[in-house]
Amino acid sequence: MQTLNIKIGGQAGQGLVSIGTILIRAATQEGWHLFAHQDYESRIRGGHNFIQIRLADRPVASWENDLDVLVALDEATITRELGEVKPGGVVIYDPDVLGQDAKTLVEKPNCIGLPFARIAEELGQPKIMANSVAAGAVWALLSEEIAVLHETLALMFAEKGEAIVQGNQSVASAGFARVRELTRERAVPAKPQGSEPRLVLRGNDALPLGALAAGVKFMSAYPMTPSTGVTEFISEHGRIARVIMEQAEDEIAAINMAIGASFAGVRAMTATSGGGFALMTEALSFAGSAEIPIVVIDAMRPGPSTGLPTRTEQGDLRCAVAMSFGDFPRAVLAPGDVEEAFYLMVHAFNLAEEYQMPVVVLSDQHLADSYVTVPPFDLSRIEIKRGRVVSCAEAGPDYLRYRCTDDGISPRLYPGFGDGLVVTAGDEHGEDGHLIEDAETRRRMMEKRMAKQRLVEENALDPVLCGADEPELMLIGFGSTKGAVAEAVEILNSQGCRAQGVHLPQVFPLPKSLAALLQKPARKFIVEANYSGQLEDLIASRFAWKPDGSIRRYDGRPMNAKFILDRLPGGVCHGS
């Protein structure tokens, strides 16, 4: 596999995302597959942020440490990141922003000084076009032709008018020409094969897209990083998709508003992150008791408390599985990549409505903010299952909202859709929805609700496997570690170690089929991004089982193959 790692570092507000987006779009157009992750601080200006783009000639799902290209928009990028550049890698920096010490660091071959803003200004363009100068400079290391980059700029700036398009193209050409000239000796990578159309998406695009495909009609949310992208996506596209996104005064209001809409008969959701998710505890329990479908996206970031607001972790798993008071059925899904995020959102709404219960979809900052190229989605795969709903004609005046059935699922009636009255309560209630106090009804209602949990477990999504079928080493994870685990497994197999990756797209209830995998005669490691081993606990308590080891990351940075491989004990594989 041919891969190329490009890191662009600078301060917040310097246009990293713009440069990244230009390069991501142009590289995809050129035929590259890519994975790009973002690292940013909890501030709007200043600090040190980066976007790192990994280009490859086949699909990639994770990132690599060693850099082929480092672009420095600020001094910190040089002082902090220079050591990550591979021997022979290229550094492009802006000499106008470097102090004397940093300048000394870049006095070596393959370091190219390029005053991005000055070049833009010298060409009579505004400073802000420094972004396109930098994009042109990087492009010179990828291609001998600038045409595709020009096309991308034309598309991206079309709305701003011809003058802006031409301005960006001219400064990009200047950056491109300067670097081409200085690196003439250096071969550009072979142009990747294949030019089939692709989608470039972040998790925060794929999740709301999946919700829209599922027919979500109502969302309410309170902004919280890193879930805000989902909220803004639905707000932005709501009018085309005919969906209401109503910003709430707090997360408590957000989930209750969505529950109200769902009760009335529409697909409804909310999105939040750890602290906001915790505020939804009470409402989750209400939805469980009142049997109202609701989908909650929790985009995890490192806790406890406010933690590291802009970074990544998988520390809300225990909370998602166990949060709230009393027993009620639920499901927790954990998509591992954007494709899974899209289709699992549809599944989440189906589960919520079929079993009339809350469904939590766990995302995290790494999934939420990382761009990846994927084949276009197949909308014909989408099946909307709204569960048991009584039609207007069937709903006689004797309708009972909580009618006891063999499987515990009571047919829903949307209020106002028949003569029958829909009576719903979070207080314990009888079949008619009115409040009760007697022990017998309470017992029956509890058993009716929890019968649904058994069904959810029986239909739980199976683990997604990769690598060797009869492994000697097994790596088990969930959510956004999927790509890192898959790549680690691939590397291990290439070294002669029979490794298998087990990704769990559904973490609660765990699929029964996991039991058979756990009994395979392999050394098993749980890979997860939290301190205490929340997935490990969950599997251990469900299957009375212990892994051979654990690989955990809790510094707020995303997992990758190197992180996993570095932590596998020596001799763990006969082949290695």
Partner 1 sequence: MAADQRFEVRQETAWCPGCGNFGIVRAVAKALNGLGLDPSQVLFVSGIGQAGKLPHYVSGNVLNTLHGRTLPTATGAKLANGDLTVIAVGGDGDGYAEGGNHFLHAIRKNVNITYIVHDNQVFGLTKGQASPRSDPGMVTGTTPLGVYNEPFNPLATAMTLNAGFVARGYAGDQEHLARIIQAAIQHEGFALVDVLQPCVTFNRINTYQWYRDRVYDLDQEEAYDRTDRQAAWKKSWEWGERIPIGIFYQVKRPTLADHYSDILDVPLVRQELDPGAVEEILSEFRIG
Task: Determine, following the binding rule CB under 8 A, whether residue 358 of this chain makes contact with partner 1.
Answer: no
Segment contacting partner 1 by CB under 8 A, of 128-136, 173-181, 251-259, 483-491: 251-259
Nearest to 54 by CA among 564, 558, 568: 558
Task: Determine, following the binding rule CB under 8 A, whether residue 389 of this chain makes contact with partner 1.
Answer: no
Nearest to 280 by CA among 238, 248, 315: 248
Cβ neighbours of residue 403 closer than 8 Å, sequence gap 6 or more? 410, 411, 431
Task: Determine, following the binding rule CB under 8 A, whether residue 435 of this chain makes contact with partner 1.
Answer: yes
Return the number of the residue (253 or 568) whose C-beta is nearest partner 1: 253
- Give me the least distance between CB of 319 and partner 1, in Å please: 19
Query: Which whole-number Å values give the CA distances from 163 to 127, 148, 153, 176, in the listed order?
Result: 15, 19, 12, 20
Map the footprint of partner 1 across residues 531-550, applying CB under 8 A. Answer: none
Task: Determine, following the binding rule CB under 8 A, whether residue 419 of this chain makes contact with partner 1.
Answer: yes
Task: Determine, following the binding rule CB under 8 A, whether residue 267 of this chain makes contact with partner 1.
Answer: yes
Do 432 and 400 contact (CB within 8 A), yes or no? yes
Task: Determine, following the binding rule CB under 8 A, whether residue 268 of this chain makes contact with partner 1.
Answer: yes
Written as one letter, the residue type at 462 is D
Task: Determine, following the binding rule CB under 8 A, whether residue 441 of this chain makes contact with partner 1.
Answer: no
Return the number of the residue (262 or 493) whose C-beta is nearest partner 1: 262
306: left (phi over 0), alpha (psi -120 to 50) or beta: alpha
Segment contacting partner 1 by CB under 8 A, of 124-132, 416-424, 442-450, 469-477: 416-424
Do 375 and 196 contact (CB within 8 A), yes or no? yes
Return the number of the residue (101 or 438) whose C-beta is nearest partner 1: 438
Q: Which two structure tokens, joined as six digits, stand for 506? A: 């559904």
Segment contacting partner 1 by CB under 8 A, of 170-178, 180-188, 256-264, 456-464: 256-264
DSSP state of 297: E
Map the footprint of partner 1 across residues 498-527, applying CB under 8 A. Answer: none
Alpha-carbon torsion 244, 247, 252, 253, what sign? negative
Rounded to whole angstroms, the Cα distance separating 460 from 469 reads 22
Q: Which of 40, 218, 508, 563 binds partner 1 (CB under 8 A)?
A: 218
Map the footprint of partner 1 across residues 18-37, applying CB under 8 A. Answer: 25, 28-29, 31
Map the footprint of partner 1 across residues 272-331, applying CB under 8 A. Answer: 282-283, 286, 290
Return the number of the residue (238 or 509) whose C-beta is nearest partner 1: 238
Rounded to whole angstroms, the Cα distance separating 54 from 244 reads 36
Return the number of the residue (91 or 219) whose C-beta is nearest partner 1: 219
The number of CA neighbours under 13 Å toward the Cβ of 503 is 22
Map the footprint of partner 1 across residues 48-87, applying CB under 8 A. Answer: none
The Cβ of residue 570 has, within 10 Å, a number of other Cβ atoms equal to 6
Task: Determine, following the binding rule CB under 8 A, whether residue 480 of this chain makes contact with partner 1.
Answer: no
Return the number of the residue (75 or 339) whose C-beta is nearest partner 1: 339
- Give me the least distance between CB of 257 and partner 1, in Å please: 4
Beta bridge partners of 269: 219, 295
Task: Determine, following the binding rule CB under 8 A, whether residue 449 of this chain makes contact with partner 1.
Answer: no
Task: Determine, following the binding rule CB under 8 A, whether residue 350 of this chain makes contact with partner 1.
Answer: no
CA-CA-CA-CA torsion for 555, 361, 37, 371, nearest 10 degrees?
180
